[in-house]
Structure 1
Amino acid sequence: MCRWLAYAGAPVLLDDVLYKPDHSLIDQSLHSKLGVETTNGDGFGVGWYGANGDAEPGVVRDIGPAWNNRNLREIAAHVRSPLFFAHVRASTGTAVQQTNCHPFRHGRWLWMHNGAITDFHRLRRDLCMAVDPALFASIEGSTDSEVMFYLAVTFGLDQDVPGAVARMAGFVERLGKEHGVESPLQMTVAVSDGERLWAFRYSTQGRSRSLFYSSRADEIRQLHPNLAFLRLSDTTRLVVSEPLGDLPGAWNELPESSYIICPTGEGEADYFPFWPESP
């Protein structure tokens, strides 16, 4: 499986979040505590929206491990963003190649995933046939994660993010069960249009991979008045596969079968129940 984080809030250097915390995503690429694998070294990627409001995000991906990549360190020290994704990959069977590294981008959208479609090799043709023909040529890699993304775009991501992801999940489960796959879907997913961040936690079995969101920075300061919390705005939110440290009160587990919405500006993050729908 993989480890990922998503940040939404006041613009910060990527370095402040990717490298500086005690159990940063870079540390997790070598020493994951909650993942299926301890090491996540089959590639990495970062995707970010510019602080000046550019509609289309930038993306950098590579097949090497994140822990010793000098280019990632250079980028993180100079890029400042109000909303960004970062992902370290542990392949579930598809090739280690740049086009299989997350996050994936389509227009203004970013998408990343931890989990798997069970028996993807058996379902792949039928899944791909359901992608809008106008989008099919945009699929560059061979992962289930990218196919899930383009299914969500096909099912109306532009109009209704939770609904499109629910229809994607419902389609995967229906198709899987038609092929005799007992538990077709395992996912934690992050998706953004540059203005809001959505994160989903769901699995057919009801035993999903770990996912956490941060408490408000002002709440953490009240609990720990002697600590400066990354110079973050009060409404900043991080959503992570596993906490970036063990500060009491800083991290909350996202409930099973739910999703969270985080705005980049003013406004509260909130979470809601998530269930697959028939497309």
Structure 2
Amino acid sequence: MDKTIWTQIPYPGDLAKAVQGADGFKTRFGRLATHPYNEENPDNSFWWLFPTGKGFQNWPAYRCGKFVFYRPRGSNAIRAGLHIEKGVCKELAEAFGSTRGRHFEMTKAWIWHLLLQDLKNGAMATALGDIQTRSGMAPEFTISVCAPLDEHTLTEKATEYRFRTVANEGLFHFCTKPGEREITGIEQVTSLSTLACTLEAMGKGPGTMLWVDLIIGLDIPISADGPGPNWSGTEVWEGVLEPFSPWIRTEC
């Protein structure tokens, strides 16, 4: 019997809302804020679920881990997973000269730092293993080097690196879409720990000027019918997102 997963839910926002309705999600988080990036075209927008802790400005949520949902360009699937961002140094954040720009500065409060630790200590490997066991699919990493998503004064083309997870904390680089910036040595990465070391090196020198969007998750095909199980919000929560819960922190 084919166990390939699929979903009848056609839009990222609908899937985000369906996940919010899952009993396990409500037990773990109660309710997270929901927001599309493109409010004028929500059906084709990125959607996030993100925390609203005490004293935390709901949006933008750059420093926090977020659940993300979107349709990759040219794909009839919804990617669901974890989104974590690396901000830029204070000098560059101030140079943007906008109210929003001051939120681009990466401080010690950013979840990025925890991600790097957990890529090395096995915590992320455990989460990825759980996802593969529950879904039957190998999670993928998409790492984009770009201008901050909301900084419209810059029109740089992003560089995108894609990796597929393999056994024993391994990574397989299978695609690079070149842009205007790059991460030195990243195409030679073959494990979670070496990825952490490569990204950690961006904390000094020219790397402090680079913004990174890192998304880990699965592409769930959209179909009216399929050979395997039809995943609703509950299955997406249990099979993909629940293992990423440690990186969604309401005190962020």
Tell me the TM-score normalised to structure 2 length.
Answer: 0.33
Looking at secondary structure, tell me which structure has more helix per residue.
2
Tell me the TM-score normalised to structure 1 length.
Answer: 0.30
Higher RCO (Cα < 8 Å, 6 or more apart): 2
